[in-house]
Chain A
Amino acid sequence: TQLLEQSPQFLSIQEGENLTVYCNSSSVFSSLQWYRQEPGEGPVLLVTVVTGGEVKKLKRLTFQFGDARKDSSLHITAAQPGDTGLYLCAGRLSGAGSYQLTFGKGTKLSVIP
């Protein structure tokens, strides 16, 4: 069982469509991050959320942290081919001495022109 479950695993959509990907867990996190990884590159941070219920917007991307700090979602509006990549959520467990950043398997997004 994975600590962080991401869904869907794969998503292929047409340019201009909207989409949402999810990151779920039964554990509570002190902070959660979303990274995007393009082919041949390492992951790059998109956002960090720390407060339950927090919503952050980054241009066409909207990130939400669940009220209980156990889950998160990423919504993309009017997807573009440049959004193609592997979206990874990663979290640090709540509790003393929990510094390790644990990753989900990711959602592989393809945006077709």
Chain B
Amino acid sequence: ETGVTQTPRHLVMGMTNKKSLKCEQHLGHNAMYWYKQSAKKPLELMFVYNFKEQTENNSVPSRFSPECPNSSHLFLHLHTLQPEDSALYLCASSQDFTENTGELFFGEGSRLTVL
């Protein structure tokens, strides 16, 4: 139990569907992240929110849309995805994005399959 909870754990969707991934952290952290983990690739940082403000968007396609209503909750809205978007999506939190030695606390991930 890392204090970061992701739902759903598994999701199968068609290319025309709209779905959302949810992340909640109970650690009192100020930064939240979405990472994508694909086979044979390093973890790819997608989005960062620090004190509810989006500070990083690493050229992520617009079919992925993040939302951070407060410091404890983070969503990733998905629509018209492609099969190559199938991956494990990891949410993480840390005390502050600008902390040089900050530890990331990860959720267990949402395994997404796009048909």
The interface of chain A, by Cβ under 8 A from chain B, is: 2, 4, 30-31, 33, 35, 40-45, 48, 50, 88, 90, 92, 99-106
B residues contacting the other copy or chain, number (CB 8 A): 21
Contact B42 A102 (CB under 8 A): yes
B59 at the interface (CB under 8 A from A): no
Tell me whether B106 and A44 are in contact (CB under 8 A).
yes
Which B residues lie at the A interface, using CB under 8 A? 2, 4, 40-43, 45, 48, 56, 90, 92, 97-98, 100-101, 103-104, 106-109
A40→B108 contact, CB < 8 A: yes
Query: B residues within 8 A CB of A103?
Result: 42-43
| Nearest CB on A from B47, distance (A) | 11
3 closest cross-chain pairs (CB), A and B = A42-B106, A103-B43, A103-B42
Nearest B residue (CB) for A104:
B42
Question: Using Cβ atoms and an 8 Å threshold, which residues of chain B touch A88?
Answer: 43
B40: A residues at CB distance < 8 A: 105
A42 touches B98 (CB 8 A): no
Which residues of A lie under 8 Å from residue B41 when comparing CB positions?
105
Q: What separation, in Å, do the CA atoms of A25 and B34 have in the docked complex?
A: 24
B48 — which chain A residues lie within 8 A by C-beta?
100
Report if A48-B101 is in contact (Cβ < 8 Å); known contacts: A42-B92, A42-B107, A105-B40.
yes
